[in-house]
Structures are given as structure tokens and as C-alpha cells.
Structure 1
Amino acid sequence: MIKVIKVEKTLNDHSSSESKLITRSDLKSLFKAVVLVSNVLPVFTGLWLALFYTEASFKEHWDVFLLTIIGSTFIMAGALLLNNWYDADIDAVMERTKDRPTVTGKVSLKNVLTMGIALSILGFIILLFTTLEAAMYAFVGWFTYVVLYTMWSKRKYTLNTLIGSISGAVTPLIGWAAIEPAFHIVPIVLFLSLFIWQIPHTFAIAIKKCEEYKAAGVAMLPVKRGFEYTKGHMLVYVTCLCPLPFFLPSLGWVFFTIATLLSIGWIVLALKGFFVKDDLKWAHWMFLYSLNYLMILFGAMVIVTFFH
């Protein structure tokens, strides 16, 4: 209740700021630009690989490509806006989010809620012009992130990370299903890769911002069980990524080598966490490595198809 009052007071104190221009930085914060882009890349990868494996022509499916990317981007943007709307009280407490437009009052919570709902609906309408299956995967991701993660588990259970990981993991399924049904080993491996990847990635952020999460009352694993326990979980999940490239032999030995080296490097860094003195610095390196891991891995999946 205290947090809600704080947010309301902040919005009242900044009521005159509605007339101010919204900056590019405000928009990036409002739409969580980095998160949005990192979720669109797997959609594209899933779609591209579906074209590759079915030997379909991109030129003949350019309209499906545009509808899929635009529709899924709108849905994700809508979900992220709804997350910002619901978590305004938490964002007001945390240092890294206290300047979001939803906290400063540059954009009213009512407007954010309206935009979030409108973008979500528009995105689903656009995506329905591809396939019903693609729209269904998008709905699973949206519902998991907005309802099961943001509104239900984030403040109560450390399992919130596992639940939230589902929403990001369905993104390549959306892209693949826009071309053909996703009952295929490739989209399943993409789903598992993203699901597993998100857990150590999120835990790295949670360790870095542990005190902020604690102050905001967010039930992250490092807050509830400590750093050493969390490091053990991170090592397990990073190790689980190693076998996945074996299920994609059709992408060739170059991709297999890149994926394996990336996984081994991450395991070494995860093991190092048990011997470091500065946990926050180590967590920052884990966070950076996770971002590069995702971009390189999914980028390599696309690039190697040009040589087959």
C-alpha cells in the first residue's frame, strides 16, 4: 500500500510533465527496447529456419514475414507496456527503473494501460493473417508474461523466473508456425534453448540488483536463497545448453562448433563464480556473456543457412 501511495504521489508531483515532450530515452524505457529486440530476433530465426527446412522461397513469403514480425512485435510491445503499468510501484523503488515515464508521470498509467491493450489486440489481429497456430503461440507468451508472471508469481514465488521464461521461449515457435506447423525438432530445440538461456540470464540480473529487488519485495531466487544457491542453479542450467546443438546436425559443423564453444565458455564463467570475491562484478560478466551468447547463437543459425 505504501508503494502505491508513493507512485500516486510521484504522478501528482509530475502532473504538469504530461505536456513535456517524450524523449527517445523515455520511449526506449517504456517499451523496454533491448528486451523487445532480443525477443524479435528469435521470431525471425524461427521463420527463417522454417523457410530453409521446407525449401520455401523468401520472395514468395515476404508478406508472411512482414505480418509475422510486425504482429509479434506489437504483441510483445503491448505485453511490456502492461508490465510497466502493473509494476509502477516496484519501478518507483528500484534504482534502475525509477526514471521510467510510468514513474515520473511523463506518461499516465491510464495511457500506458490503454496503449498496452491496444497494441496487444492489434498484434493478434495482424498475426491471425499468418496462421492460427502462430497466433496461439503468441497468446501463450502474452498470457504467461502478463498474467502468470507479472500479475501472479513475480512478487510471491521464486518460480517466477521459470514461468517468465516460457513467454520468451515461444518466440521462435511463432516464426516457425507462420510458415508450417511447429511439430518439428528444430523449433522444439529453439524453444528449449531460449527457455534454459533465460534462467541464468535473469539470475545474473537478480544478483546484480539483489538489494533493489529486496527493497521492492520481488521474490527473486538470490533474495530468498542467497548467491551461492543461485550460482548452483545457474551452473546447472548453463550446462543443460550443451547437448542441444547435437539435435541440429543439419545446420553443419560450423554451427555446432560455435554453439559448443559458446556453451563451454559460459560453463567456465559460471564455475568461476564459486571462487570470485566480487559477486556483483561476476554477475555483470555473466549478464554480458548471456546477451552475446543469444545474439551469436541465433545469428549463426541464420548465417550458416546461406552456405547450404
Structure 2
Amino acid sequence: MSNMEITNEQEMTDYYLPTAGDYFSLLKPRVMSLVIFTAFIGLLVAPGEIHPVIGFTAILCIAVAAGASGCLNMWYEADVDAKMKRTASRPIPAGKIDATSALHFGVALAVGSVLIMGLMVNVMSAVLLTVTILFYVVVYTMWLKRRTAQNIVIGGASGAFPPMVAWAAVTGDVSIESITLFAIIFMWTPPHFWALSLFACKDYENAGIPMLPVVSGEKATKTQIMLYTLAMVPVSILPWYFGFAGVFYGATAALLGGMFIWLSFALYTDKVSVDENAAKAKKVFFFSVFYLFALFAVLGIENLIGRVL
């Protein structure tokens, strides 16, 4: 083999080497950003004091654990991701990273995040962080997602744990307030993901994932979105009711909740198939992201103002 051929072969090998960006993509950074934000607000509003370095460590551990969960989810679902337009470009189905490397990377991050949380923060937050990872990877990804249309209802608890973990990082325990923050995200998750599944229904159907629109159809999914939204709004006002949020938060939760209900009702009463017009389903989905961000942002801002005054 000539030197030129060796050089060309080496260049092709280097071209296919995974980059830092490929590994970062395994962490589902967009999902991670909302997890970090809700966890930070949980840390902020928790009673008591925490050293800034310990607080930063707690948030970092939660972020790494969330990324590890996303990585292990991609490892387990690589076959499904390859069948869906929305996920086919992810690192494993795209051939950028092999599944074994992704598995090792995810396990290392998961174990490391829990160990550091336990050693540098406290045991309770480490236990809750472990539960969060196991719930997402084992309960949701491996057990529920391919078996039942209620996968997101039960499995969605994994996304609701981060503010509770952060609260425990400050207080060392679980309280009605941290459970309330958990409940808000838990009730928010089904309408959020079912709105997504409405306009991504064909993808889920092709991949054999029994999301609610695939199993029960559009009408049943729209009904469930409406019902969960109606149940979610009173839950979102509980921080004001329990006294760890003020009137401004309560009013904001009521206003945003009313808007969420209105959009869900518009989707529910829409006679046009989502296949023909996905606009209203997308409005519910994108508003739901803004809704959760705004709700926790107001909670955090109000808390900061209260401390200053």
C-alpha cells in the first residue's frame, strides 16, 4: 500500500471518530436545559442556606444525571430512533458513536453524578437522584415506553424529580413544598408530550411505539390533553396556597393556566385532522414549554425579591 493510500485511509478513519459534540448530543441538551432550570428554582426557593460551591455541585450533578439518563435512553432506543425522522440523526443511529461506547459513557456519568452528590452534598439528594435516573432509564425507557400508551403518565415522574432533588440538597429531606413542585411537572408532562405525539404520530407508529394517538386515536388524545390541563392548573396554584409563593405567582399561575386551558380546548374542539393541520397541536406543545419555564421563573424571581425586601 502506498503512502498516499495510507494517508487517505487514515483521514477517513479520523473523519468518523466521534467528536465532543457527538457525545454532548447524547445528553439531550435541550431537555437537560429545562431540567437544570427547574432544579435551580427548587434550590433557590428551598428554606435554609447552602454554600454556593455545594449548590453549584448539586445542580451540576443533576445536570450530569439528566444527561446520563438521556444517553442511556438513546443507547437502549437506537433501533427505534433509526426508524423515526425526528430522531434518525441522533449520534448512534447516524453511525457517529457506537452503542457500546454510549452505554459506557452513560453509566459512567450516572454513577459519577450520584457518588459526587452523596459525598459533597447529602445522602437524601443522592438517593433521590438515583431514583430519578432509574425511573427514566428502567421504568420509562425499558419497561413502559414500548408496552403501554400510559408510558408518559407514569414515566413522566422522572422529569418531575429534579426540583425535589435540589430541594433535598438544601434541606436534607422531602417536604410538602418539594412534593408540590414535583406534582406540577408531573401533571404538566402528559399534555406536553401528547401534544408532541399528535403531530409526530406517524413517526411513533412507524417505530412501533404505543403512544396515545397511535393506540387510541386523535380524539381520545385531545380529550386526555384537555382533562390533564384542567387538573394541572389547580395544582400549579398550590405553591401560593401552601405559602411558599406569593400573590404574584398565584395570579401568574392562574393566568397562564387559563391560556393553557384555552389552547387545549381549541385543540379539543378542532375538527381538522392533525395530519392535515398540526398548527393547534404545535401551539399547545410550544406553549407548554413556555408555561413551565414562566411558572418556575416567576416563582424564583418572587422568592429573590422577597429575600431582598
Q: How many residues align?
A: 287
C-alpha distance in structure 1 between counterparts of 2:147 and 2:248, whole Å: 43
The answer to whether 1:42 aligns with 2:33 is no
Q: State which of 235, 255, 260 in structure 2 corresponds to 1:266.
A: 260
User: CA offsets, 1:217-261, max 9 Å, x none?
Assistant: 001011000011011111111111222244323321111111111
Q: Which residue of 2 aligns with 1:172?
A: 163
Structure 2 residue aligned with 1:103, among 93, 103, 108? 93
CA contact (8 A) 1:102 1:108 kept: yes
Aligned-pair identity in percent equals 31
Match of 2:29 among 30, 33, 37: 33
Residue deviations 1:85-121, cap 9 Å, x none?
A: 1100001000011111101111111111110000001
Q: Given the alignment of the two structures, is residue 281 of structure 1 paired with residue 272 of structure 2, yes or no?
A: no
1:198 is aligned, of 171, 189, 197, to 189
| 1:273-303 CA-partner distances (Å, limit 9, x unpaired) | 1332253221111110010001100111100
Instruction: Name which of 223, 229, 236 aligns with 2:227.
Output: 236
CA separation of 1:27/1:208 partners in 2, compared to 1, >3 Å: closer, same or farther? Answer: farther
* Distance (Å, rounded) in 1 between the aligned partners of 2:152 and 2:236: 24
* 1: CA distance, partners of 2:282 / 2:227: 19
Gaps of 5+ in 1: 1-14
Instruction: Output the CA distance in 2 between the equivalents of 1:221 and 1:268.
Output: 22
1:69 alignment partner in structure 2: 59
Letter in 2 for 1:142: I
Shift, 1:45, TM fit: 1.1
Q: Which residue of structure 1 aligns with residue 210 of structure 2?
A: 219
Do 1:204 and 1:284's aligned partners in 2 also have CA atoms closer than 8 Å? yes
**Alpha-carbon distance in structure 2 between the residues aligned to 1:180 and 1:234:** 35
Q: CA RMSD in A?
A: 1.7
Instruction: Please give the alpha-carbon distance, in whole angstroms, between the structure 1 residues aligned to 2:13 and 2:174.
Output: 53
Residue by residue, what CA displacement relative to the aligned partner does 1:182-239 show, whole Å, maximum 9, x if unpaired? 4322211101000000110110111111001000000101100001101111111111
1-side partners of 2:204 and 2:156: how far apart? 18
- Whether contact under 8 Å (1:17, 1:105) holds in the other structure is no
Work out the CA distance in 2 between the residues paired with 1:229 and 1:216: 21
1:70, 1:126 within 8 Å by CA — same for their partners in 2?
no
Asked if 1:252 is matched to 2:246, the reply is yes
The equivalent of 1:187 in structure 2 is 178
Could you tell me how far apart the structure 1 residues matched to 2:283 and 2:88 are?
Answer: 24
Using the TM superposition, give the Cα deviation of residue 146 of structure 1 relative to its aligned residue in structure 2, in angstroms.
0.4
Matched to 1:266, the amino acid is F
Question: TM-score, normalising length from structure 1?
Answer: 0.88
* Cα distance in 2, alignment partners of residues 266 and 28 from structure 1: 33
Q: Is the 8 A contact 1:145 1:164 kept in 2?
A: yes
Distance 2:61 2:185 in 1: 20
Describe how 1:112-191 pairs up with structure 2 within 5 A.
112-128=102-118, 129-191=120-182
| Structure-2 change in CA distance of 1:275 and 1:174 (3 Å) | same
- Three-state SS of the structure 2 residue aligned to 1:95 is coil
User: Taking structure 1 as reference, are residues 17 and 96 closer, same or farther at Cα in structure 2, changes over 3 Å only?
Assistant: farther
Distance 1:162 1:18, change over 3 A: farther
Measured after TM superposition, the shift of residue 123 of structure 1 is 0.4
When structure 1 is superposed on structure 2, of 40-49 and 84-93 the one drifting more is 40-49
**Normalised by the size of structure 2, how large is the TM-score?**
0.88
Provide the C-alpha distance between the structure 2 equivalents of 1:282 and 1:106, rounded to a whole number of angstroms.
Answer: 35
Greater Cα radius of gyration, structure 1 or 2? 2
Distance 1:225 1:284, change over 3 A: same
Task: Name the CA shift for 1:285/1:17 in 2 (closer, same or farther; >3 Å).
Answer: farther
Distance in 2 between residues matched to 1:45 and 1:252, nearest whole Å: 15
| CA drift at 1:180 | 0.9
1:290 lines up with 2:288 in the alignment = yes
Paired residues of 1:254 and 1:304 also in contact (CA < 8 A): yes
Give the unaligned 5+ runs of structure 2: 1-11
Q: Using a 3 Å threshold, how does the CA distance of structure 1 residues 106 and 286 change in structure 2: closer, same or farther? A: same
